[in-house]
Amino acid sequence: MDIVNILRDKILNSVNQLVDERNLKQPINMNNIVVERPKKQHQGDYSTNAAMVLGKALSSNPRDLGEIISLRLRDSELISNISLDGPGFLNITISPKFWDRLIYEINSSNNRYGEESFGGGKKVNLEYVSANPTGPLHLGHVRGAVFGDVLSRLLEFVGFKVTREYYVNDGGTQIGILVRTIYLRYLEKLGEVIEFPDESYPGDYLIPIAEKLIDKYGNKLKNLSEVERDNIIRSFSIEHMMEIIKADLKSLNIEMDNFFSEQAMIDSNAIDKSISALKDKGLIYTGIIDAPKGKIYADWKAREQLLFKSTEFDDDIDRPIKKSDGSWTYFAPDLAYHADKLNRGFDVVIDVLGADHSGYVSRLKAVINAFAEKNVEFEVKLVQLVKLIKNKKVLKMSKRAGDYILIQDLLKEVSSDVIRFVMLSRNNDIPLDFDIDLMLSKSKDNPVFYVNYAHARIVSVFKRAEELNIWPLSKIENFEKKNYTYMDSELALLKKLSEWPNVVKQSARYHEPHRIVYYLSELASSFHSLYQSSTDSIPYRFIVEGSKELCIKRLVLAKSTQIVIKNGLSILGIVPLDEMY
RNA sequence: GGUGACGUAGCUCAGCUGGAUAGAGCACCAGAUUUCGGCUCUGGGGGUCGAGGGUUCGAAUCCUUCCGUCAUCGCCA
């Protein structure tokens, strides 16, 4: 258990004692009791709202309760002072021993510092990317991909069992268009003059697939029946498109566990099965839905169609599952797909979708509610658009061929580590600007540089220390008994380091990996600040010749910082730089 | 028209899910260092948290009504 949690435990113990004595009937929610870093310096090192939470439950004065709690906590060897402030905050000043223990804990846990177990081995299905196999990934997909990948690492770090899943839309009408386009490319390569219809994919990226078709089949496809030919091209092109997408993902350090094929699901009759299951529950009927009011549909005709009664589960209208021509809507396979996820026994189901799917969320929730037999946590994370900026201009990503920015092209300019970091530098539901020039700049404006630079500085300090034969240490076992005194800028860094487990916990609990990025920037800032102060005064240097004990204290502090930076970046899927480029 | 998200400093955004005097970076102003790494650090000004109402000891956070932006509401996935 991390040191801040130990502190929290002590507080909870005192609260529990008090609850027993006051003979409290209703249970109080201990999760509401937090131990946090206060904003202001004079408010101590940590503070807790315990007395106020308890005050509410007991409906008595928080300040009186605070007095009692603080009296009980005073004995703890970790605490040097407690004061009761404001409406009932307990502001705690930590004894120096606390920091030695923190450092010991970080170094002995090393790459497991911050690890949690509250996931309890629960099974999570995390679906992300799920781009159609009709073209390479674009920047919007990348944001979702990175988000999902980092969330999966984060959830595993706190004890969940995560299945990373990609839903392959290989069954819809888009694929028909893909097949047709590739066939036209194929004919074009065979020397025919082709005019491409509006309903086709214009990008050059399909040409290599057409070439591969020729390698394999020569001009034989021309002689086959349309059905036979389409079948061949269909599986051939999906396979190759998915290879391109997988390669893109791999170059971003992203690997999926499972590719779930829509077509395979359709072939297994899963849609009919789940629809009839819903029918049995009385959730399917034939009816007419109204045209949306604020929008003009020139060719709107009221039609009877097959509907899913999602309003039963708080959706605002019932949702069509068959088109007028009798084929399934997009929603129908997705409905079956989510039923399938539940069948596989997941405890947590998370979809990472583009923000243009926002209108889709409530019907998916309805599906989950209609099918779930046990308590399943379902969440849709919507990822907003990414604007690519170069030379202070927005690069438009239209579907016309020339404007399509390939991931591989972007990777020629910036590393995948940079892309990953930037993609998480905003909350997922806020649009993001990806400024290429900024990401190439070597200054603190560039957050990736800033964090890496802190790490590189640490590595460089160790190099120097090794030359002087004071590093590495053989062991740090007694560090918790050192009783060092720490100066202000060291304390600031230590406090930042102590926040790490809580940052992990919060990010994982709320599925918000961007918090890790913010934290790392703050941590780097604390480190740079300390590093800088060493130029102001010799005692602040990491390597002080003639004082081995001081060196050790400072080097272990640097080491602790390195560990946390590494752990943080590792959740982001980034390897820190030892030397700046 | 319905639904959802968003609206916080000049700009870009955090804000630990109801806590203390609302924070950070950029930009601007003033300084320090250039030695372990190009850089970085320190300080300063700057706010009606879109607007009104409500809930309570306490609201940027919860409820409600408006305003604005975006997305979405049937054959595009």
Note the pLDDT tens digit of each residue in A368-425: 999 988 889 999 999 998 888 888 777 765 544 445 677 888 898 888 999 999 999 9
Note the CA–C1' distance, A327 to B29, in angstroms.
67
- H or E segment to which residue A433 belongs: strand A432-435
pLDDT at A208: 92
Tell me what the mean pLDDT of segment A503-520 comes to. 94
State the nucleotide closest to A463 in CA–C1' terms. B36
Q: Residue A475: pLDDT band by 50, 70, 90 thresholds? A: low
**In A224-330, which ranges are continuous DSSP H helix?**
226-251, 262-267, 270-280
Tokens of A101: 């223990």
**In A380-443, which ranges are continuous DSSP H helix?**
407-413, 416-423, 436-440
Share of chain A above pLDDT 90, in %: 51
Tell me what the mean pLDDT of segment A249-269 comes to. 95
How far, CA to CA in Å, does A91 sit from each of A35, A69, A324, A498? 10, 12, 66, 17
Note the CA–C1' distance, A283 to B22, in angstroms.
48
Contact A15, A54 (CB under 8 A): yes
Sheet strand arrangement including A35-36? A35-36, A46-48, A89-94, A79-85
Note the CA–C1' distance, A234 to B25, in angstroms.
50
Q: How would DSSP label each residue in A321-378?
A: -B-TTSPBPTHHHHHHHHHHHHHTT-SEEEEEEEGGGGGGHHHHHHHHHHH-SS--EE
Note the CA–C1' distance, A529 to B32, in angstroms.
13
Note the CA–C1' distance, A69 to B60, in angstroms.
31
A438 CB burial (10 A radius; 0-12, 13-18, 19+): middle
Residues A112-159 have pLDDT tens digits of 999 999 999 999 999 999 999 988 888 889 999 999 999 999 999 999
Residue A115 to residue A108: CA distance in whole angstroms:
13
State the nucleotide closest to A334 in CA–C1' terms. B77
pLDDT at A401: 45
Note the CA–C1' distance, A425 to B54, in angstroms.
36
Residues A19-74 have pLDDT tens digits of 787 776 656 677 778 888 887 777 888 999 888 888 877 777 788 888 888 888 88
Its ipTM equals 0.93
Provide the 3-class DSSP secondary structure of residue A285: strand
pLDDT at A479: 66
Contact A467, A460 (CB under 8 A): no
Residue A58 to residue A56: CA distance in whole angstroms:
6
Note the CA–C1' distance, A330 to B5, in angstroms.
23
Residue A5 to residue A120: CA distance in whole angstroms:
18
Expressed in percent and rounded to 5, the helix, strand and coil fractions of chain A are 55, 15, 35
Note the CA–C1' distance, A431 to B69, in angstroms.
12
pLDDT at A96: 84
How far, CA to CA in Å, does A117 sit from each of A147, A512, A579? 22, 18, 34
Cβ neighbours for A235, distance < 8 A, ≥ 6 positions apart:
none
What residues are paired with A389 via a beta bridge? A394, A435
What single DSSP character describes residue A85? E
Residue A461 to residue A554: CA distance in whole angstroms:
10
Residue A67 to residue A72: CA distance in whole angstroms:
9
Query: What are residue A480's phi and psi, to 5 degrees?
Result: -70, -10
A272 pLDDT higher than 90: yes
pLDDT at A319: 94
Residues A295-323 have pLDDT tens digits of 777 778 888 899 999 999 988 899 999 98
Residue A233 to residue A51: CA distance in whole angstroms:
69
What single DSSP character describes residue A539? G
State the nucleotide closest to A327 in CA–C1' terms. B75
How far, CA to CA in Å, does A204 sit from each of A142, A189, A198, A230, A513? 20, 12, 15, 20, 35
Cβ neighbours for A523, distance < 8 A, ≥ 6 positions apart:
A451, A454, A493, A496, A497, A500, A561, A564, A565, A568
A429 CB burial (10 A radius; 0-12, 13-18, 19+): exposed
What single DSSP character describes residue A311? G
A305 CB burial (10 A radius; 0-12, 13-18, 19+): middle
Nucleotides of B under 7 A from a protein CB: 1-6, 12-17, 19-27, 32-42, 57-58, 70-77
Among candidates A274, A256, A270, which has minimal Cα distance to A127? A256
pLDDT at A396: 65
- Quote the pTM value: 0.94
For B18, nearest residue by CA–C1' is: A32
For B40, nearest residue by CA–C1' is: A532
Tokens of A478: 């007694």
For B15, nearest residue by CA–C1' is: A515
Cβ neighbours for A272, distance < 8 A, ≥ 6 positions apart:
none
pLDDT at A173: 82
Q: Residue A513: pLDDT band by 50, 70, 90 thresholds? A: very high
Note the CA–C1' distance, A372 to B74, in angstroms.
27
Residue A191 to residue A83: CA distance in whole angstroms:
85
Tokens of A398: 């239209």
State the nucleotide closest to A528 in CA–C1' terms. B40
State the nucleotide closest to A460 in CA–C1' terms. B36
pLDDT at A438: 85
Contact A386, A330 (CB under 8 A): no
Residues A320-371 have pLDDT tens digits of 999 888 889 999 999 999 999 999 999 999 999 998 898 899 999 999 999 9
State the nucleotide closest to A502 in CA–C1' terms. B16
Tokens of A379: 């969440």
SS (H, E, C) A87-125: CCEEEEEECHHHHHHHHHHHHHHHHHCCCCCCCCCCEEE
pLDDT at A404: 61
For B77, nearest residue by CA–C1' is: A330
Residue A395 to residue A354: CA distance in whole angstroms:
19
